[in-house]
Amino acid sequence: MAPSGEALTTGLDVEAAVAAATDPVVRQHRHALSAADYLVVAHPNWWGKPPAVMAGWMDRVLVPGVAYRLDTRDGLPTSLLRLRGVLVLNTGDTPPQREREIFGDPLDAIWRRCVGAYLGSCPVQRLLAGPLGGSSPEQRRAWLAEARAATAAWRW
């Protein structure tokens, strides 16, 4: 159930109702996303999905009227964003090969095929830092350097 005032519908069309947030933090995040050229998301692999706090952010910020529009109920989404790139940084303890071969890399599917389709035609790049358990300081520095290099390639 949505918090009181979060999903008002009286006198508003669906997009306006969903886009109208009473929480000032949600409003701030929606506004920042609407104005963004790039989006960087970082979260751990939590049982093959984003953790609850990330899922909650997605549910409240990546909404119709802010991130996308559906012209028909069964139609394809039209992005309302001007994003030129998305970088998803994931941490985890499952080795990347096992993540792909055994589990089908569900986070990649979520960000590229599910969420990415609503963010427009911009490229979605995903970097995995892991396995974290037992990683050396040198390995952690290399993961950070890889993330810096990915954003350095963007045209600001």
**pTM score, whole prediction:** 0.85
Domain boundaries, the chain: 14-152
List, as one string, the DSSP characters of 53-89: HHHHHHHHHS-BTTTEEESSTTS-EEE----SEEEEE
- pLDDT value of residue 5: 47
| pLDDT at residue number 13 | 60
Give CB contacts under 8 A, 24+ apart, made by 145-153: 147/87, 147/89, 150/87, 150/125, 151/38, 151/40, 151/87
Pick the closest to residue 132 from 88, 86, 89, 87 (CA basis): 89
Output the six-digit token pair for 34: 């609407």
Could you report the per-residue pLDDT of 41-77, keeping only the tens digit for each? 999 999 999 999 999 999 999 998 899 988 877 778 8
Fold classified for 14-152: Rossmann fold (3.40.50)
Joined tokens for residue 100 = 């792909």
Per residue in 75-124, pLDDT tens? 788 999 999 999 999 999 999 999 999 999 999 999 999 999 999 999 99
Determine contact, residues 116/83, Cβ cutoff 8 Å. no
Report pLDDT for 40.
97
Query: What region does 57 belong to: left with phi over 0, alpha with psi -120 to 50, or beta?
Result: alpha
Q: Is the pLDDT of residue 139 over 90?
A: yes
